Chain A
Amino acid sequence: MSELSEYRKREQSITLEPLDEPLIAPVDEEESSQELLTLNMGPHHPATHGVLRLLVTLQGEVVRDIKPVIGYVHTGIEKTAEDKSYWKVIPVVERMDYLAYYFNAMAFCGAVETLLEVQVPPRAQYLRVIHMELNRIMSHLVWLGTSALDLGAISMFWYCFREREAILDLFEMSSGQRMHTRYFQVGGVIEDIPKGFTEKLRKFTKIMPTRADQYGDLLNKNEIVLQRLRGTCPLDAETLLSFGVTGPLLRAAGNPWDLRKAAPYCSYGDFDFKIPVGTVGDNYDRFAVRLAEIYESVKIIDQALEGLPEGPYITEDRKVALPPRHELATSMEALIHHFKLVTEGFRVPPGEVYHPIESPRGELGCFVRSDGSSKPARVHMRDPSFVNLQSFSRMAEGSYIADLIATLAMLDPILGGIDR
């Protein structure tokens, strides 16, 4: 034994004899690289954007299989909706995909309006478009901020949430709520936009493209972001279609399918906008398509503001929409309508309707079955996150676990929508 140093003497340090046999068997390189490890990721993993649990089978650092386990935030919204009159269903369905509440309300209201054969006045349609496109920008901003956070870019998160705050302020101005606004009603919207809303919105649409430019500069010229996104986990359009994937994920693979263009609803046909598409469908394309969509949404909002028609903001059909407040004091009929609507709600002719719209994540379809009463007999939301999640294991198989995180971020699943 070598001579102990002053320090070791003072510390009364001891020296262990070497063992005859090593405690841990030496690792056989060949064998260990073939071994499969099943790892539980989530449900409370920060990179899963909600309570998503992934059973990941790994071979070394390479992903071999992913099994998503969902249902942790299942709240039975579809069941709850069956116990409420039609106009009281709107606030519950809004809470499904909590980043796209205007879209949830639109899908449901659209389905009920189709069953009722109610015409929505043009002004209401334009107001709906304005709010839906603001919502799309807001949803993409949250996606961009949190995804960049997953890739290690913390400052993006603050920038994105700054603009999101401006949008939420606008929502608060028009409806009184920042989230789950209940602004869309069957037959139109609950209230006209208040004084000053247009100016505030113009200010926002003026600044938003420049801000989006900044985001693009920050990320598109960032070597780390590019290396983590470019060429990772691509999936071709044909496979995506077989999995039922729609929205930005499909468009990133080069298929320009967008319901706003293909089957215009809510007067989307009036506006001039483009559908951004990608080329190879890798993570970078998914990122680029969503970023480009922000500009297009701003364009739509500007046109809708410019051409905002005058007229009623909700249908004049008193059997469906509440009468204006001032009529209640003078008109007996208005009072009766108001009483009937508030107590029982309106009755919907029996039938079944599936109403699809384009949400920030793809085709959001609402299926409503009416049995002729004032409560729906079935409400089902075809949520794009729920369907898109199935393609995730195909995307990430064979790539590194770090790419799995990036792919999940680019998939943009919202667990509130998946579990409903």
Chain B
Amino acid sequence: MPDATGLELIAQELREAEGLGEGVVLETLFFRERATLTIDPTLILPVLEQLRGKGYAFMSSLHGVDYYPHEPRLGVHYELLDMERVDRITVKLRVPSDVPEVDSVTDAWPTANHQEREVYDMFGVVFKGHPDLRRILMPEDYEGHPQRRDFPIGGEPVLFTHNESDRIGARR
């Protein structure tokens, strides 16, 4: 892991990098020996490319988080790994729930393909430029994004014999 100073250095390098600018890193966090960069969601592709150049060449995980009720509400986390130095860094970004859009990183990181589809399925984050953005775990005709915090648990009625008559069109 980069230590707290190392993380600040990386953040500074990102700010000074060409085409990124001062506002790229919104927050740095060193928590429980883990380094986290929160970045401007529009700059995800160049930031990941910069970090790849610094050795973080393996994307081990991409997952979504819902920060309900805080805005911007939906988060996407990218877990990067440097296999040479055995070093991890987490890149986080947050998008508002009314325009939940972020660039897809699938072209540069093929591993993100299924994982972005999962985040789209579960949280409704739209990955612009994803080659095949469909639901992956839920049925294709499913409505809503079940991992959102305001999505009720057990909201799906299950049809048994005792509640069969509730079914639309059932005549008994």
Contact = CB atoms under 8 A, between A and B. Distances in A.
A389 interface: yes
Instruction: Specify the main secondary structure of chain A where it touches its partner.
Output: mixed
Interface in B97-111: 109-111
B153 interface: yes
A365 B137 contact: no
Contacts of B149: 82, 377
Contacts, number: 93
B137 A419 contact: yes
Contacts of B153: 79-80, 82-83
A387 B66 contact: no
Contact of A79 (B31, B79, B111, B146): B146
Contacts of B66: 378
B57 to A, nearest CB: 8
Given A78-B147, A390-B111, A352 B31 contact: yes
A55 to B, nearest CB: 12
A354 interface: yes
A382 B147 contact: no
Contacts of B17: none
A76 B151 CA distance: 12
A161 interface: no
A390 B110 contact: yes
Given A79-B146, A245-B111, A390-B113, 20 more contacts: A76-B146, A243-B110, A244-B58, A244-B59, A246-B60, A262-B83, A351-B32, A353-B32, A353-B34, A354-B34, A354-B77, A354-B88, A363-B60, A365-B61, A377-B149, A378-B147, A380-B64, A380-B65, A386-B115, A390-B111
16 contacts: A71-B137, A74-B138, A82-B153, A114-B32, A117-B32, A241-B57, A262-B86, A263-B86, A365-B61, A367-B61, A367-B63, A369-B65, A378-B65, A382-B79, A387-B111, A387-B115
